[in-house]
Amino acid sequence: MGNAELLQSLYAQDPKGGYWYKIWTGMRGIGKELVFSSLMAGSIIVHNASNQDIQVFVSKYSNSNGGDSWFALKAGQSDSWSRNNWEVVAFKKNDDSERAGVYTATNKMITFRSFGDIQVHD
- Residue 85 · residue 61 · CB < 8 Å: yes
Residue 7 has pLDDT above 50, yes or no: no
pLDDT digits (tens, 9 = 90+) for 45-77: 999 999 999 999 999 998 888 888 999 999 999
Residue 15 has pLDDT above 80, yes or no: no
Cα(25)–Cα(43) distance, rounded to whole angstroms?
A: 14
What are the chain's domains?
Answer: 3-121 (2.60.40)
- Residue 66 · residue 22 · CB < 8 Å: no
